[in-house]
Amino acid sequence: MNTAAHVELVTPADARRRQREGAVLVDVRESHERATGFAEGALGIARGELEADPQAALPDRDADVLVICQSGARSMKAAQALLAAGYSRVASVDGGTTRWIADGLPITRDERDFDFYDRYSRHLRLPEVGEAGQRKLQAARIAMVGAGGLGSPAAFYLAAAGVGSLVLADDDVVDRSNLQRQILHTEARIGSPKVESARAALAALNPSVQVDTLQARITAENVEQLIEGADVVIDGADNFPVRYLLNDACVKLGKPLVYGAVHRFEGQVSVFDAGRHRGHAPCYRCLFPEPPPPEAAPNCAEAGVLGVLPGVIGLLQATEALKLILGVGEPLAGRLLHFDAMGMRFRETRLSADADCPVCAAGREFPGYIDYVRFCAA
């Protein structure tokens, strides 16, 4: 069996000369690495694919084969594998593509996908994401209710992560008091609709993300229009009637709902996925069969909120949304995560589906939307 001692090491300049004389130059990096630039004329085949079936790419075992990677380590191993497979003339390019570029040798780059591979390069390095997962994110659509405290960090990071389409619903305008925590907005956009301010911020961050907006209060008449095409729904609402309405619509349409709430120095996050898992996963009504009285749950304007707290909770919501789209990890379905900023502690409460839930009980027909304002007031 051939060993590493048999692998010839060549400089990029020598490799370029031999390439012109008929040698086959093979770049064994992954596709997302090659997309940022590769040696002109190189054949792109990931190392694992090449080693699994070298003859598919290199049918002539006597051909002059030059292997290149980023710095030279992977190409050396690939060259060893080719020698072991019976190839007689194999060399590794010393210093790889990094040295090739430094030496001023010509490279090729696919400009069509350069932004994709360059922007998401850190995602592409994660086996749990990779190119297939990033393409899932690119094709995904997330509906968000609220472009305020929770919606701001969640939308920012979802756009940065490359979620292809975001739908933002909010009927409010930017107020100076929002700027302490609602990081999508700026001083210059005070008085502007929050959804338009959010659109401007997200377009500046990632122009490839499509941002659709609905400047209206969410009601039973428009909620399905908002969420029907979404893969995931994020609840960034600040009032109970909208939370119950959003929950019921997600159960009816079978959409996973990522819930978040903040109060002074504390926050909560969960995933309610009863619409897709009747009788197994709980919905918001299973946690709160009846809304608390208004005096027990004042909003931020009444009770105040630590400015960074919505950032923590909103980012946890964004994390859950990304996991749901990618199909990785363990979502918070059936679990309520509670965050105490003062004590810097997280605690978890297990949730179960309510067999008598009026909305999500197994086999129960959707009862229809109700007057949620009256329900919460009562």
Structure confidence by residue, pLDDT tens digits, 169-180: 999 999 999 999
pLDDT, tens digit (0-9, with 9 covering 90-100), for 189-222: 999 999 999 999 999 999 999 999 999 999 999 9
pLDDT of residue 6: 80
Question: Could you tell me which CATH class the domain 4-110 is placed in?
Answer: alpha beta
pLDDT, tens digit (0-9, with 9 covering 90-100), for 127-149: 999 999 999 999 999 999 999 99
pLDDT of residue 295: 63
Distance (Å, whole) CA 186 – CA 184: 7
pLDDT of residue 4: 46
Report the phi/psi class of residue 85: left, alpha or beta, with left for phi > 0 and alpha for psi in -120 to 50. alpha
Burial class (CB in 10 A: 0-12, 13-18, 19+), 153: buried
What CA dihedral angle connects 183, 174, 297 and 282, to 10 degrees? Answer: -60
- Strand (E) or helix (H) holding 111: helix 111-119
**CATH 3.40.250.10 domain span(s) along the chain:** 4-110
pLDDT of residue 1: 39
**CATH 3.40.50.720 domain span(s) along the chain:** 123-377
Evaluate if residue 110 carries a pLDDT over 80: no
Distance (Å, whole) CA 26 – CA 42: 5
Residues 6+ apart with CB under 8 A from 196: 189, 213, 215
CATH 3.40.50.620 fits 123-377, yes or no: no
User: What pTM does this model have?
Assistant: 0.82
- DSSP symbol at 365: P
Mean pLDDT of the chain: 94
**pLDDT tier for residue 298 given thresholds of 50, 70 and 90:** low
- Provide the annotated active-site residues: 300
pLDDT, tens digit (0-9, with 9 covering 90-100), for 154-164: 999 999 999 99
pLDDT of residue 114: 83
